[in-house]
Structure 1
Amino acid sequence: MKYILLLLLVPFLVLSQTDAQKEAIKNRDKYLFGTTRLQKNFVKTIPFEYGVNEEIVVPVQIGGEIYHFLFDTGATTIVSQEIKDKLELHELFSNEMVDGSGQIEQMPVYILDKLAFSDIEFKDVAVIASDFKKFGSLFCEKIDGLLGTNIMRTCHWKIDYKNRQLIMSDKKIKPSKNFYPIDFKEGFSGSPLLTVYMGGYSVIMLMDTGYNGGFSIPDSLFFKSEKLRSLPYNKGYGNSTITLYNAKPRQKYLAAIDSVYIENKRHLVKNGIADIDEGETFLIGNDIFEGFGEVILDWDKKRIYLPETVVEEDDKYNTFGFGPAYDDGTITIALVWEGSSAFTQGLEVGDVVISINGTDCQNIDRKKWCALVGLIKNKETKTLPVTIKKKDGTEKGYILKRGNLFE
């Protein structure tokens, strides 16, 4: 199970007023799409780290220093507040931005003179600045920013999940014979939008490698659709997502989907699990593309290429039924699913975790926290002893059992 889902989605928002639309498009074309690549005739292979929560982390060079960025097809480029302050970036303009939870805020936009990925330099990179300290509850290392679509659309890419590497080139990356093309449209900030068929609906889904789940469907559609509501679904409470703006704990849902097809009616996924979330955006994340093993992105022809295979998502939600969160040495219960072992034994959002499997979790460091996340996610771990401190200060031990939320 995904204990904390990473959802970072920051497209420039086109406003409904005509004048605001024109201004947003003008700023996008001049600044966001004004990023240029300085080198030619290259093919680069860049290893990436695939974190315990299945996020793609790559090294980026800014001002002679190396930083860790998330490779995110669902966002424009973002830097930490520390980078923005160190480089003394000046605001160009501000625009309304929407994150993956649907929250909207007015955000300033800056220009970064240069950014290098591998040894390929990008000039005049429009960036947003954000406080990345709050993402410490997810990552096993410090994350300094997002490598977004205003950089990606200047190159050709292959994401090789099997070998944990990115291939970047200024020339087309030729797909193998067993790959097939899928046309996409660009979202306002350049993110790939794919036509997907599920539950009797044709929907536009954003390819979001900043989202480590499989599918995400807006709750506004799910509960209005008789066809979708008829799917098996499970309810929980808490916060399973981390977004650019702070999302609050709320009712959460998971739905089991028999089959999902892409535009040309080829099978995409069988027995998939979808997160039912607030907001209006449909997402496809790393959980699906990792199942294919490889994906090629071609912004020139506006196509992605996927292997001829079917992703089987069976057994994805065999879980103890809770999602932990880590903050400054303390682990808490962030999410509980109804019907699970955690739920039936009385774990609640906000409970403090004293120990897991005999490991003391008080003042725990990030390395031990990440090892525990790996233990919890490992399907070979069938039972899990935990000690919990309840809100009234009492401590109690539990033996949690792994189970399927949809059985």
Structure 2
Amino acid sequence: MKHIALLCCLLSACTFTRSQSISLNQGGPATSKYYTQLPYEMVNGKMFVQVEIKGKLHKFLFDTGAPVALSKKLITELQLTEIHQGHLTDVNGTVSNAATVQIDSIKLGDVTFTGIPAITLFPDWYNCWNIDGVIGSNILRQSVVKLMSDKHLIIITDQPDKLALNKKHSVPLITNANKNQQSDPQIKILLNNKVSLTLGFDTGDNAFLRFTDDLMQQLAKYNSYEIVSKGFGATTIGENGLQPGAEKYLLKIPFINIGSARFDNLVTETNKGGIPGIGTKLLDYGDVTLDFINGKFYFDAKNDANAPDNKQWPFQPTFADGKLVIGVVWQKGMDKVKHGEQIMAVDGKDLSNLTLCQLMDNGPILGDKQSAVITLKAPDGQEQKLKIDKE
């Protein structure tokens, strides 16, 4: 599901459904022939932008895997009322209730959008980023959106000719707008030159590739991956909290193609449920354009051939019950650590009082290390130091 060096992958992909046929795909840009550049800040693979509502700037998460969302604070400030009730399924497959409000006017750069529905589900950990909302796919569905990774710019326009797009770098983009009530982008990738997959492009996920057990089983007949390890545990946090503990697999895929770019020996982790997808790690390798108007996804890679780091740690940490713990233990670590043990320190740095917000601000504790000494605390209070290596 993510590069194994990441401690805790906070995912925002979700699907919104309703008891009646009322869609989030309403409203849109107030004018035509528009073009604007919106700077973004990248923090641990999350994209943040400034938007304007009623003359005031607000910090929003930019998340193509989710619909537009607003915090309770902003809803109160804008004096918005609920227009509908529905259900939301997050990236882990957990369902919760969510109401809908409508934003009369919101500006992204120089472009004003009117009549945009927004959900009210706003998890507590969003407050770690001091954001007031989420820019999701339903507000983008009538535009062409280019993500320029080196310049940290988002171009939003209805004039794709201004972007000098290369058809050789494109794959189909599908939103199923008639069935899908938020128009989250789905793209076609090619697995080992023989299997075509449709996966979501989710800027709310800081991973590269997100896989599920169901997808793994569907691909088994094609001999398109190798199981390099098995494990048990939970690491991923969605809108509704930490995923349940479950059996997991590490898969090695010989190569995938996204447009004209190739990625070799890609290792990914499976999830028992949820939504497969590709996250913002892809932006490390080039620029992305989402042409919602013409149904095209462009990936302008810096290099045609890429070899992501596929080394793995013997376990994967996460954050649970207010502390940093062992989330998933892989086969190589089963004789050394146990699921749920608290991580007290890494290379002598005290992490015993680490908060979730600090983790989200500072990034993964193992970072770019290739080896580390960790201090673990068992449920009985016993502590041990353990040297681990990335292999």
Partner of 1:333: 326
Residue 159 (structure 1) aligned with residue 147 (structure 2): yes
1:285-364 paired onto structure 2 within 5 Å? 285-291=279-285, 293-307=286-300, 309-319=303-313, 321-325=315-319, 330-340=323-333, 343-346=334-337, 348-364=338-354
Letter in 1 for 2:346: I
Residue 181 (structure 1) aligned with residue 170 (structure 2): yes
1:197-346 paired onto structure 2 within 5 Å? 197-198=190-191, 200-223=194-217, 225-228=220-223, 231-246=226-241, 247-262=243-258, 266-279=260-273, 281-291=275-285, 293-307=286-300, 309-319=303-313, 321-325=315-319, 330-340=323-333, 343-346=334-337
Q: Deviations over 1:326-350 (max 9, x none)?
A: 776x43333333314xx4422x332
Whole-Å Cα distance in 1 between the matches of residues 215 and 364 of structure 2? 34
1:17-166 paired onto structure 2 within 5 Å? 23-24=20-21, 27-28=22-23, 32-39=24-31, 41-52=33-44, 54-135=45-126, 141-166=129-154
Q: SS of 2:15's equivalent?
A: coil
Give the Å deviation of 1:376.
Answer: 1.1
Change (3 A) 1:371 1:155: closer
Q: Deviations over 1:230-274 (max 9, x none)?
A: 623322322221212232222222211012235x7x454222223
Whole-Å Cα distance in 2 between the matches of residues 175 and 97 of structure 1? 37
Q: SS of 2:125's equivalent?
A: helix
Change (3 A) 1:245 1:313: farther
Q: Do the aligned partners of 2:224 and 2:254 also contact (CA within 8 Å) in 1?
A: no
Q: Deviations over 1:170-229 (max 9, x none)?
A: 422423558622222213121222223326533321111112222223312423534358
Q: Do the aligned partners of 1:78 and 1:148 also contact (CA within 8 Å) in 2?
A: yes
Whole-Å Cα distance in 1 between the matches of residues 35 and 65 of structure 2? 24
Q: Do the aligned partners of 2:251 and 2:268 also contact (CA within 8 Å) in 1?
A: yes
Whole-Å Cα distance in 2 between the matches of residues 190 and 327 of structure 1? 34
Whole-Å Cα distance in 1 between the matches of residues 321 and 202 of structure 2? 25
Partner of 1:5: 9
Q: SS of 2:332's equivalent?
A: coil
Partner of 1:17: none
Change (3 A) 1:179 1:352: same
Where structure 1 has 5 or more consecutive residues not aligned to the other structure, the ranges are 15-19
- Normalised to the residue count of structure 2, the TM-score between the two structures is 0.84
Where structure 2 has 5 or more consecutive residues not aligned to the other structure, the ranges are none
Q: Do the aligned partners of 2:171 and 2:296 also contact (CA within 8 Å) in 1?
A: yes
Letter in 2 for 1:44: T
Paired residue total? 378
Give the Å deviation of 1:127.
Answer: 0.8
RMSD of equivalent CA atoms: 2.9
Letter in 2 for 1:325: F
